């Protein structure tokens, strides 16, 4: 049974001109146990280093699977388990995604997602399995001590946050509508 959150490392084919990579193929992703249908692509630019976006999710019936990649600069991308009954509830995994390494993170429904930029002028694109639905929009505090994400920022650094992200609730105040599917969160390969 595949892990719910997966680090995808697309192969790059290079020559004197540069390189080519296939970032998404429905049949290839199906072999990884990822069979969602992506219907929306998002693209963000974060100008200052240590801009933090998250931790975000959409609740049922408008939950979103996400496939995230950094196409300019570098980010530390995080997923937090929000599935009620999960033995890994409230735990997180993270990975560096960069234009240089080409890695992607698949984050299924039932996980909060967020990232912090590690360089100035980072661009991030991500595919979503549903469109944005304001009535289903939710979040958890980026610095929730019960989650304890080890954001790679120098001690004492205050990240750039949106007004919304600065006041997200703590995980303890969230009644999760997401159900555990039998796949515990595992370290990323």
Q: Is 184 contained in some domain? A: no
Give residue 189's pLDDT band: very low, low, confident or very high (50, 70, 90): confident
Residue pair 55/91 in contact (Cβ under 8 Å)? The answer is: no
Q: Does pLDDT of 41 surpass 80?
A: yes
Q: What is the pLDDT of residue 88?
A: 97
Catalytic residues: 56, 126
Cα–Cα distance, 124 to 72 (Å, whole number): 7
Q: Is 1 contained in some domain? A: no
Q: Is 20 contained in some domain? A: yes
Q: What is the pLDDT of residue 2?
A: 77
pTM of the model: 0.96
Q: Is 185 contained in some domain? A: no
Q: What is the pLDDT of residue 1?
A: 64
Question: What value does the mean pLDDT take over residues 38-53?
Answer: 98
Cα–Cα distance, 58 to 134 (Å, whole number): 8
Q: Is 188 contained in some domain? A: no
Task: Look up the domain containing 123 and give its range.
Answer: 6-173
For 46, 133, 141, the CA distances from 53, given in Å and listed in that order, are 9, 18, 10
Q: Does pLDDT of 13 surpass 80?
A: yes
- The number of distinct structural domains making up the chain is 1
Two tokens, residue 157: 């650094």
Element (H, E) at 97: strand 92-98
Two tokens, residue 70: 């950094």
Q: Is 65 contained in some domain? A: yes
> What CATH number is associated with residue 151?
2.60.120.10
- Percentage of the chain surpassing pLDDT 90? 98
Q: pLDDT tens for residues 102-141?
A: 999 999 999 999 999 999 999 999 999 999 999 999 999 9
């Amino acid at each position: 049974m595949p892990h719910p959150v997966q680090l995808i490392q697309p192969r790059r084919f290079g020559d004197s001109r540069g390189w080519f990579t296939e970032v998404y193929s429905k049949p290839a992703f199906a072999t990884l146990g990822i069979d969602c249908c992506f219907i929306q692509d998002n693209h963000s630019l974060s100008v200052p280093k240590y801009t933090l976006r998250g931790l975000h999710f959409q609740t049922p019936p408008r939950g979103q699977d996400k496939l995230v990649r950094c196409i300019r600069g570098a980010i530390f991308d995080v997923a937090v388990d929000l599935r009620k009954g999960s033995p890994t509830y409230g735990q997180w995994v993270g990975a560096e995604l960069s234009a240089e390494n080409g890695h992607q993170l698949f984050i299924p429904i039932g996980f909060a997602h967020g990232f912090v930029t590690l360089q100035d002028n980072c661009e991030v694109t991500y595919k979503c399995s549903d469109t944005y639905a304001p009535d289903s929009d939710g979040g958890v505090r980026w610095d929730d001590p019960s989650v304890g994400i080890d954001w790679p920022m120098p001690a004492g650094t205050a990240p750039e946050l949106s007004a919304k992200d600065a006041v997200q609730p703590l995980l303890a105040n969230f009644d999760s509508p997401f159900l555990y599917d039998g796949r515990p969160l595992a370290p990323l390969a």
